[in-house]
Chains A and B, each alone.
Chain A
Amino acid sequence: MLAVGLLSACGARVDDSSASAGGEGTSCVDTSGPSVKIGFLNSRSGTMAISENTVYNSLKLAADQINAAGGVLGKQLTVVAEDGASEPTIFAEKAEKLIRSDCVAAVFGGWTSSSRKAMLPVFESNNALLFYPVQYEGLESSRNIFYTGATTNQQIVPALDYLKEKGVKSLFLVGSDYVFPQTANKIIKAYAEANGIEIKGEEYAPLGHTDFATIVAKVRDADADAVFNTLNGDSNVAFFKEYKNLGLTPEAMPVISVSIAEEEVGGIGVDNIAGQLVAWNYYQTIDTPTNKKFVEDFKAAYGESKVTSDPMEAAYTSLFLWKGMVEKAQSFAVNDVLAAADGVSFEAPEGTVTVNGENHHIAKTALIGKIGQDGLIYTEWSSGKPIEPDPYLKTYPWATGLSG
């Protein structure tokens, strides 16, 4: 009680407008020396480590390449790496450490929506920069975060357009029980209603769930034209094994997935998933000189057997986009970088990407891919040109009311 009394004596109230300015904005980033610090925050332990280690590797590759080419504004990049340990709480703690204790100029990382949502208030209250490299459920646009993965209108909506084009009249939705699949399915249902597609079922499994006999049986009995799969992680292995086991084929009832990239195909087993569809913005097989060089460099650094995937490419791209923003601003200061961000573009392995200064996402080309017998993914359909990011789906009449 005494402490509460003291609290009222000197602390700022929530409604005190000076409070929001107190304690932050005073960046401790040191740019006086020959080098500048940046932070990589990925899960190096825990369930997400297998995915996030690949993102860490491609970030490291980008930093090494930038340093070899003379750095950013003539300063070498010094990487401070932290482990997010697959836990939102640890992500928040380590983000704060990187910003306030290491004084990094920008942080790159995060994978799950949970990790991003945990870090968001930390970056906003300290006015720092986060580059988040994974496709996600949209409906977010923080002043302090740049989203270099796809938002829904660059991945899920094109996937639905593709299915509609192919004459799909009914869908079955399968997803893990957390925010990305739930939000994605909300969008899919709104799209389906507006486009005369019937939703024959919607099933959720807890993250890490590996018994799919019941769900796949329901999928079979519903007899939809296609399955939209937003399962994440290990569940995909069990799902596709069971799918094949019950005699369902990509020809009869294709599954389109939004969380399965080259890295995951090996784990699921090519036999179980060959011929199925995925929706991303990058595949290792993209036939451009920029991508060939990226794949070659990656294999040279980490081994011939390694594959490159969409989140890895988006992470690699994010570091170059930050470099572009800093060079355009001629400053490492967060406010200068934010002011310069709009229109910064980079010749990325996926193609040309451009930063949208208003919503902090990037314009990306949507690609529907088919998984080949060799475990790689081959482009089946392309949006042809970069799609402007629209995280709140404001330009889609059927989506009104989704962001409310």
Chain B
Amino acid sequence: MNIRSILSSRWAVLGGFALGAILLMGVAPAVLSDFRLGLLGKYLCFAMVAVGIGLAWGRGGMLVLGQGVFFGLGAYLMAMHLKLADAPASTGVPDFMALISSDGVPWWWEPFRSGAVTLIAIVVIPAVVAIVLGLATFHRRVRGAYFAILSQALAAAFAIWLIGNPRSTGGSTGLNNFKGFFGFSLRDPANRLMLYLIAAGALLAMIAIARQLMVSRYGELLVACRDAEERVRFLGYNPATIKTAAYTVAAVMAGIAGALFVPIVGIISPNDVGIVPSIGLLIGVAIGGRTTLLGPVLGAIAVAWAETSLSEQFPSGWTYLQGLLFMLVVAFLPGGLASLAPTLRDWRKHRRSDTAAGQPGVAAVPEGSA
């Protein structure tokens, strides 16, 4: 049995998930401080969006430049519910609204007083938006750069709308200062740990769903759409439906990620949902390796982690270093970090064959130069 078939066997997959679960849910809470664990929770939310982007972009070839919209929908829906739940029982008006207007709660906030409605909306609203948008564009065969521009414009419009309606959305400050999460105090470290574990569980579940989709017949069709859409159409399939399905799954994943981001991070603002964060999410996926299952996840976590630690080390010039890192990865590992192992393997093989051919000089190249 060769290595490839061992890796793809059912037991290896289960083992991989078990290892991931142990690392995320056992080791991380044990070794990280409360504060760092909260940060890891935030990275996991980005990783959830990345799983969806990996599916839509890596497998489906749709350059989704506006995932911030779905992330933001989930986040704002959750934030609205938390703000309403925190509001004083006497007036029922959240603190920030009372500060700048005396008009009371807008009508479209009212349904989200209910926790159940909110949880359903977090899944349904991003899904409906993605289905409508997906069918409308893919049926008209809008592809490539045009689809990318469209999704990006949507992200820009969403952020501008949020900023322009401070009375109902908190404007550029966004929504923050949440005291409870479905009745549980967010100040209690035990509850924060639970939120982290929920995020870790959600991420593992999303990876499992993405894997099932990738190895299924549907996954094959999706890749076929990416590589030769016209042929798929000739074979009698409708590429629009196939692509819309992947786009919708990605949107729902982003929505759930946003909803978990809110209680974990404690704030959502237009800065977290517009064009820049949408592209930021994409960068993580590109760096990790968009066509693989785990590449996007690891890439998103690595980019977010690098951003935090670089800005802590070099508060005045970290953005340059971050840019440099991106350039290095794109220049030397176009397939992303997930291609690091195969690249190294090729390089070793190459070196071994070179050595065998009697060129010891090549082997003397220091590791660091690679």
Chain A residues, CB < 8 A from B160: 206
In the docked arrangement, what's the CA distance between A92 and B175, Å? 12
> In the complex the two chains form, is A85's CB within 8 Å of B266's CB?
no
- Interface of B, secondary structure class, is helix
In the docked arrangement, what's the CA distance between A363 and B283, Å? 48
Chain A residues, CB < 8 A from B312: 82, 97
- A319 to chain B minimum Cβ distance, whole angstroms, is 18
> In the complex the two chains form, is A23's CB within 8 Å of B189's CB?
yes
- B266 to chain A minimum Cβ distance, whole angstroms, is 6
Interface check B184, CB cutoff 8 A: yes
Contact with A along B281-319 (1 / 0, CB 8 A): 000000000000000000000000000100110011011
In the docked arrangement, what's the CA distance between A357 and B218, Å? 66
Interface check A139, CB cutoff 8 A: yes
Q: Which of A117, A178, A183 has the most CB of B within 10 A?
A: A117
Given contacts A3-B194, A92-B265, contact A22 B187 (CB under 8 A): yes
> In the complex the two chains form, is A83's CB within 8 Å of B315's CB?
yes
Binds B, one of A4-12, A146-154, A266-274: A4-12
Chain A residues, CB < 8 A from B185: 11-14, 16, 19-20, 22
Interface check B235, CB cutoff 8 A: no
Q: Which of B39, B194, B308 has the most CB of A within 10 A?
A: B194
Contact with B along A74-108 (1 / 0, CB 8 A): 00000001110111110011101100110000000
- B35 to chain A minimum Cβ distance, whole angstroms, is 4
Contact with A along B322-361 (1 / 0, CB 8 A): 0000000000000000000000000000000000000000
> In the complex the two chains form, is B311's CB within 8 Å of A178's CB?
no
> In the complex the two chains form, is A11's CB within 8 Å of B176's CB?
no
The residue in chain A whose Cβ has the minimal distance to the Cβ of B202 is A3
- B159 to chain A minimum Cβ distance, whole angstroms, is 10
- Contact partner of A178 (CB less than 8 A), chosen from B163, B191, B315, B319, is B163
Interface check A121, CB cutoff 8 A: yes
- Contact partner of B183 (CB less than 8 A), chosen from A10, A14, A89, is A14
Chain B residues, CB < 8 A from A6: 194, 197
The residue in chain B whose Cβ has the minimal distance to the Cβ of A15 is B183
- A289 to chain B minimum Cβ distance, whole angstroms, is 33
Chain B residues, CB < 8 A from A121: 176-178, 266
Chain B residues, CB < 8 A from A93: 39, 42, 265, 308
Interface check A301, CB cutoff 8 A: no
Given contacts A182-B166, A206-B160, contact A125 B267 (CB under 8 A): no
Chain A residues, CB < 8 A from B96: 117
In the docked arrangement, what's the CA distance between A293 and B313, Å? 33
Interface check B188, CB cutoff 8 A: yes
Chain A residues, CB < 8 A from B182: 4
Interface check A303, CB cutoff 8 A: no
> In the complex the two chains form, is B271's CB within 8 Å of A89's CB?
yes
Chain A residues, CB < 8 A from B98: 404
The residue in chain B whose Cβ has the minimal distance to the Cβ of A116 is B173
Interface check A265, CB cutoff 8 A: no
> In the complex the two chains form, is B269's CB within 8 Å of A83's CB?
no
> In the complex the two chains form, is B183's CB within 8 Å of A13's CB?
yes
Chain B residues, CB < 8 A from A125: 187
Interface check A177, CB cutoff 8 A: yes
Given contacts A100-B34, A100-B35, A121-B266, contact A88 B174 (CB under 8 A): yes
> In the complex the two chains form, is A118's CB within 8 Å of B173's CB?
yes
Given contacts A13-B185, A19-B188, A44-B316, contact A89 B35 (CB under 8 A): no
> In the complex the two chains form, is A45's CB within 8 Å of B179's CB?
no
Chain B residues, CB < 8 A from A139: 99
- Contact partner of B188 (CB less than 8 A), chosen from A11, A96, A122, A179, is A11
Q: Which of A8, A19, A100 has the most CB of B within 10 A?
A: A19
In the docked arrangement, what's the CA distance between A83 and B316, Å? 7
Interface check A113, CB cutoff 8 A: yes
Interface check B137, CB cutoff 8 A: no
- A214 to chain B minimum Cβ distance, whole angstroms, is 16
In the docked arrangement, what's the CA distance between A11 and B183, Å? 10
> In the complex the two chains form, is B318's CB within 8 Å of A45's CB?
yes
- B270 to chain A minimum Cβ distance, whole angstroms, is 9
Interface check A114, CB cutoff 8 A: yes
> In the complex the two chains form, is A122's CB within 8 Å of B315's CB?
no
Given contacts A44-B316, A82-B311, A178-B166, contact A207 B269 (CB under 8 A): no
> In the complex the two chains form, is B190's CB within 8 Å of A11's CB?
yes
> In the complex the two chains form, is B197's CB within 8 Å of A3's CB?
yes
Ordered nearest first, which 4 A-B pairs have the shortest CB separation? A14-B180, A11-B191, A19-B185, A114-B173
10 sample A-B contacts, Cβ–Cβ < 8 Å, listed by A number: A11-B185, A11-B191, A20-B185, A22-B188, A45-B319, A82-B311, A89-B174, A93-B39, A100-B33, A113-B173
Question: Which residues of A does B touch, CB under 8 Å?
Answer: 3-4, 6-8, 10-16, 19-20, 22-24, 44-45, 81-83, 85-89, 92-94, 96-97, 100-101, 112-114, 117-118, 120-122, 125, 139, 177-179, 182-183, 186, 206-207, 404
